[in-house]
Amino acid sequence: MKSVLFIHRSVGRNLLADGGVYRLMAETSRGFLLSDYDQNTDTLRSESEPPRKLGLKFPGGDTKPADYAALFDAEAEGEAKAFQDFVMGYDIIAIKSCYTASNIKSDEELEAIKNQYHVIAEFFVLHPEKLLVVLTTPPLRHFRTTPDAALRARQIATWLATERFAPNVEPNIGVFNFFDLLANPDGTTNPHTLYAKYCRLWPFDSHPNAAASRAVAPLFVEFLAAQAAD
């Protein structure tokens, strides 16, 4: 049975809790054992152990692509290397940035994010025995972003989910398009932003609601099971 570590912040926490990911796993046959690390609270938990503080410092102090690039740096040292060693103790590593990373303000920033993901991919080329699963970043509510920034968020999600991110070159990288499951499609009202049915009541909150987590969680579990079976 393969071990999986899911690294996340609040949206991931809601996906696990509101979506019942651990419950869904218990109800289905799968070939993996899940643990999750909430970077916001430094809490590690798994099916087999109670939650505990990990006590390691996450590079960059957030889960933005730049922070993951620092984590998966082949030349990491000190605290970053200590966290990297912990993460690489798992067979499958799933990473997700929080919705704030969807506020991409310029084309230059978009290209920088692509380069950060390339750094991450290059690290896993050096570790073919491990599997990386990238969850694309969830969209923002339409009045918490701009049309241009929302389009860039769609562009990075699409780029990650296609062969331009080179999953066919790096077969140990899979992409779960979380963004696409939550965002209004092109040609609709407020394209590339969070579906109204998945918005919370508080108007300034871009966290997807419980209905979103319940819709996505079975797909996420199914995706992880497929990756573990390969």
**At 58, is the secondary structure helix, strand, or coil?**
coil
**Pairing state of beta strands 2-8 and 92-96?**
parallel
Res 48: pLDDT: 80
Cα-based torsion angle of the residue sequence 216, 96, 104, 80 in order, rounded to the nearest 10 degrees: 170
Res 31: pLDDT: 82
Res 163: pLDDT: 65
Residue-wise over 91-120: b if at least 16 C-beta within 10 A, else e?
bbbbbbbbbbbbbbeeeeebeebbebbebb
Q: Give backbone dihedrals phi and psi of 76, rounded to 5 degrees, phi first.
A: -60, 145
Domain extents in the chain: 2-229
Distances (CA, A) of 57 to 51, 208, 209, 211: 17, 27, 29, 33
Res 72: pLDDT: 97
Residue 104 to residue 102: CA distance in whole angstroms: 6
Interior CA angle at 140 toward 138 and 146, to 5°?
Answer: 135
Q: How many CA atoms lie within 13 A of 189 on its CB side?
A: 3
Per-residue pLDDT of the chain (230 residues; tens, 9 = 90+): 899 999 999 999 999 999 999 999 888 877 889 999 999 999 999 988 889 999 999 999 999 999 999 999 999 999 999 999 999 999 999 999 999 999 999 999 999 999 999 999 999 989 999 999 999 999 999 989 999 999 999 999 999 998 666 555 567 999 999 999 999 999 999 999 999 999 998 888 899 999 999 999 999 999 999 988 87
- Considering the domain 2-229 in this protein, what is its CATH number? 3.40.50.1110
Q: How many CA atoms lie within 13 A of 59 on its CB side?
A: 22
Res 27: pLDDT: 86
Which pTM was predicted?
0.94
